[in-house]
Amino acid sequence: MARLYRCSESIRLFFCRMTMHGNLMAAAILTASDSAYAAYAANRLLESPFGIKEIFGDSAFTDWKDHYRQRIAELAAAIGEGEPNLFSAQIDWAQSAFQSRQVPIEVLRQSLICLSDVLFEELPESCRQEPVDYISLALESLETTSDGPEELKPDSKTSRMSLNYITMILEGDGQSAIELVVQALQEGMPVLAIYENVLLAAQQEVGRMWHLGDLSISEEHYVTATTIRAMGVLNYLSERQPKNGRTVVSAAVSGNIHDIGVRAVSDFFDLAGWRAVCLGGDTPAEDIAMAVGTFEADLLLVSAALTVQLKSVRDTIERIRQERDCKIMVGGMAFSGSPNIWRQMGADGFSTSISESIETGHRLVS
């Protein structure tokens, strides 16, 4: 019986390895040929009886080719990690954008069907099934209406302050917005509450508004730039704990320019007595590894905003494991579709908030 079990377990592991190999091959082919597959799918969609050219105008082919390249990148990322939910979560996000722009959801559904048909026809037989299955699961998620990102409501003191903060900035008065949060600090509001419930809540809200087409890129950038200034002022004015001799390096991985979250977490490690070295956004794995070595870090924090950046997270972790000895914690919106994926990547911890990051970091290093 024991021998039979060992044989069965060996067979199971063999098929697991073969499946992962097929996943990686499919992901690699999708990435290498994304432009061609996107063009095929865009042409097929424009030929469908849904009036795509009438809805999207003269730029329909170019717009849909760009759309498909993004979808294929997200599909490749999900397949590479072996996590179908990562792709379904992106389609749910896209569904809310279509609803906001009053584009029929049937158009999104048909676009996925066209992509699935193209990939089934064009991919090698040995690795076509995973992409088709992942798209099928995403199509099932379209059966229910997407609520989309949750709107920030004025139902608490901090949320009302956050909405006022956004309004001041969008009216062109970033200085008054900074003074608003500084005054809150001086009147006794905990700095953690200001960061999490005012500043980061504002960032989430403007991200939601941009996604739904209610905010321009320049407006979103202005809010983000003001938030970075506000964080610097609050960090300078806040009380610090004594130095504890520990060092944390933090960075947004290559491809991730959204570094507000990792900056915020770094600020609170600084206030907690750590030497906090924040490298900012879009940092290559080799440079993160160099910083970990240069500063002899006890802890590394890396963040990813999009699922297409998960490979950069994995590459960074592998690079650190080869060269350095430190604990690694990950976070960011890219993990929301499958919050346990950090374990597969070899990280030591995962966090979804500033307070959780500090608690987890202390536990890991202790």
Instruction: Examine the domain organization and report whether 85 and 170 are in the same domain.
Output: no
Residue 276 belongs to some domain of the structure: yes
Type of residue at 95: Q
Residue 12 pLDDT? 36
Is the pLDDT at 4 greater than 90? The verdict is: no
Token pair listed for 171: 């009216």
Per residue in 172-198, pLDDT (tens digit) is 999 999 999 999 999 999 999 999 999
* pLDDT band, residue 1 (cuts 50/70/90): very low
Residue 104 pLDDT? 84
Mean pLDDT value of segment 296-324: 94
Residue 335 belongs to some domain of the structure: yes
Residue 10 pLDDT? 42
* pLDDT band, residue 145 (cuts 50/70/90): low
CATH of the domain at 232: 1.10.1240.10
Residue 96 pLDDT? 83
156 vs 149: CA distance, rounded Å: 19
CATH of the domain at 293: 3.40.50.280
26 vs 42: CA distance, rounded Å: 20
Residue 148 belongs to some domain of the structure: no
Per residue in 345-361, pLDDT (tens digit) is 999 999 989 999 999 99
Residue ranges making up the domain that contains 29: 2-141
Is the pLDDT at 16 greater than 80? The verdict is: no
Q: Give the CA count within 13 Å in the CB-facing half-sphere of 229.
A: 14
Type of residue at 330: V
Instruction: Examine the domain organization and report whether 11 and 129 are in the same domain.
Output: yes
181 vs 173: CA distance, rounded Å: 13
Residue 36 belongs to some domain of the structure: yes
Instruction: Examine the domain organization and report whether 252 and 360 are in the same domain.
Output: yes
What would you report as the CA-atom Rg of the chain, rounded to the nearest whole angstrom? 23
Mean pLDDT value of segment 41-62: 86
Number of neighbours of residue 224 by Cβ within 10 angstroms: 19
Is the pLDDT at 255 greater than 80? The verdict is: yes
Per residue in 314-343, pLDDT (tens digit) is 999 999 999 888 999 999 999 988 878 999
331 vs 303: CA distance, rounded Å: 5
Residue 24 pLDDT? 83
> b vs e for 293-328, b when ≥16 Cβ sit within 10 Å of the residue's Cβ?
eeeebbbbbbbbbbbbbbbbbbbbbebbeeebebbb
CATH of the domain at 132: 1.10.490.20
Type of residue at 261: G
Instruction: Examine the domain organization and report whether 201 and 287 are in the same domain.
Output: no
Residue 256 pLDDT? 93
Percentage of residues of the chain with pLDDT beyond 70? 92
Per residue in 71-105, pLDDT (tens digit) is 999 999 999 999 999 999 899 888 888 887 788 88
Instruction: Examine the domain organization and report whether 13 and 34 are in the same domain.
Output: yes
Last-in-domain residue among 141, 176, 205: 141
The total number of structural domains in the chain stands at 3
* pLDDT band, residue 205 (cuts 50/70/90): very high
Which region among 22-31, 138-147, 330-339 has the lowest average model confidence (pLDDT)?
138-147
